[in-house]
Amino acid sequence: MEWLFSYGTLQKTKVQLDLFDRILQGSPDALKGYRIAPIEIRDAAFLSTGEQKNQRIAIRSGHAKDIIRGTVFEMTEEELFLADSYEPMDYKRIMVLLESGKEAWIYAAVVTP
């Protein structure tokens, strides 16, 4: 199994059902040393799913006081690849250590917007 930390659209029930044909099991968690920044999505494939062009993206700040709260979901490797295909090209999947001690994947900024 894989862990994926979401702070945005992957927390939505409709997105989960559309992508994975099920509702994911998850629990609240947090990521320190990152902050949320606005980003304008230009990825046509992502926008074609009905999502808004104005989204949020995680950016590493390195400051312990910065924290992102979200949900860590348990999923299969195949589901993780489905999530990869859903996320806009402005996002990169990286491994992080969550406040709970879990190592999880997160979609973060490729470059600072």
In percent, the amount of the chain with pLDDT more than 90 equals 67
Stretch 93-104: mean pLDDT = 97
Which pLDDT does position 113 carry in this prediction? 41
CATH number of the structural domain spanning residue 26: 3.10.490.10
Instruction: Give the residue numbers spanning the domain of 85.
Output: 2-109
Residue type, 62: G
Q: How confident is the model at residue 112 (pLDDT cuts 50, 70, 90)?
A: very low
CB 5 within 8 A of CB 91: no
Tally of domains in the chain? 1
Q: Which helix (H) or strand (E) holds 14?
A: helix 13-20
The torsion angle over the Cα atoms of residues 42, 60, 35 and 46, rounded to 10 degrees, is 20
Residue 102 DSSP SS3: coil
Which pLDDT does position 70 carry in this prediction? 97
CB 93 within 8 A of CB 3: no
Q: What is the pTM of this model?
A: 0.86
Query: Which has more pLDDT, 88 or 20?
Result: 20
Q: Is the dihedral of CA 42, 14, 17, 99 positive or negative?
A: positive
Q: What is the pLDDT of residues 30-81, one digit of tens each?
A: 999 999 998 777 766 665 666 676 777 899 998 989 999 999 999 999 999 9
